Amino acid sequence: MRIGIDLGGTKIEGIALGDDGSVLLRRRSVAPRDDYQETLATMVTLVREIEREVGGIGSVGVGIPGTISSETGLVKNANSTWLIGRPLAADLPRMLGRPVRFANDANCFALSEATDGAAAGADIVFGVIIGTGTGGGIVVHRRVLTGRNGITGEWGHNSLPWPREGEWPGPPCYCGKSGCIETFLSGPALARDYQASGGPSLSAVDIATRAGAGEPLALRSLARYEDRMARALASAINVIDPDVIVLGGGLSNIDRLYESVPTLWTPFVFSDRIGTRLVRAAHGDSSGVRGAAWLWDKMWT
């Protein structure tokens, strides 16, 4: 079996996948906040419990917020700050007595969808998670591109391309810059745009629902959002030319994006014909943990 662990800020999720991708078992624990040693112990317990219940041992892949630095071997860029600077990639394999593969959680999402999800069979896949932030991962021929700096796919902190009036310099971003794609495409960004145009404080999905009911303010806000998403994705298409772009996260539940955005990106993509498809994630919230399991592409014995 392949075991995947998704190390989140509030929960640690474990899954065991069979050879064909079927779910053998799922387990979930509360993430011990601000405690690295407890985090390690929880992960080990999760793996042992899964193996005891399913019977047998499995390969272990782990999706983490942030990445393992190729220079130091330590965790970096994690929003679960108690992991930063910790030797997770050395400690967990030692405690489990086997090699463990690690990848950024957005990369795991992309791998899951490219393996047996909405982009199954596609050569080049750009997986984009849009929720409270924007993350991305690139999978080519079913392999995650990790990158020299461990930041492949992190297009959310590029600036919004082809800015229109009023979009420059753009809202401040937590990364220290202004006008990052994330400051226009995250859920909070859509909510802020709607409020700034005179609407009440609502979640992104509620705004989409109001747009569906024909509310003019929500319709205009969503139209701006789609135009921005189209330009942001077009800049990614021009670089990696993916077969499929898979959307995950809360905003991926807005149905009309899949029709409107590919129409709107046409003028910005440097090609007379565009075969790239924009699709919704097939595995929903499970993509991260499934992708962690798929970090071992060949069956491990």
Question: Which residues contact Zn ion by CB under 5 A?
Answer: 157, 173, 175, 177, 180
Q: Is the peptide bond before 93 cis (omega within 30 degrees of 0)?
A: no
Least separation in angstroms between residue 227's CB and Zn ion is: 20
Residue number with CB closer to Zn ion (83 or 173): 173
Residue number with CB closer to Zn ion (34 or 174): 174
Residue number with CB closer to Zn ion (4 or 179): 179
Phi/psi at 56 (5° precision):
110, 175
Least separation in angstroms between residue 136's CB and Zn ion is: 13
Residue number with CB closer to Zn ion (86 or 177): 177
Least separation in angstroms between residue 172's CB and Zn ion is: 9
Q: Quote the CA–CA distance of 89 and 101 in Å, as a whole number.
A: 8
| Cα 224 from chain centre | 23
Residue number with CB closer to Zn ion (59 or 183): 183
Least separation in angstroms between residue 285's CB and Zn ion is: 24
Phi/psi at 18 (5° precision):
-80, 180
Kind of pairing between the strands at 2-7 and 11-17: antiparallel
Residue number with CB closer to Zn ion (59 or 152): 152
Least separation in angstroms between residue 196's CB and Zn ion is: 19
Helix (H, G, I), strand (E, B) or coil at 183: helix
Which residues have C-beta within 8 Å of that of residue 115, sequence separation ≥ 6?
21, 142, 290, 291, 294
Least separation in angstroms between residue 183's CB and Zn ion is: 7
Phi/psi at 214 (5° precision):
90, 15
> 284 in the Ramachandran plot: left (φ > 0), alpha (ψ -120 to 50) or beta?
left
Which residues have C-beta within 8 Å of that of residue 20, sequence separation ≥ 6?
none
Residue number with CB closer to Zn ion (142 or 157): 157
Cβ distance 139 to 161 under 8 Å?
no
Least separation in angstroms between residue 189's CB and Zn ion is: 11
Stretch (H or E) spanning 76: strand 75-76
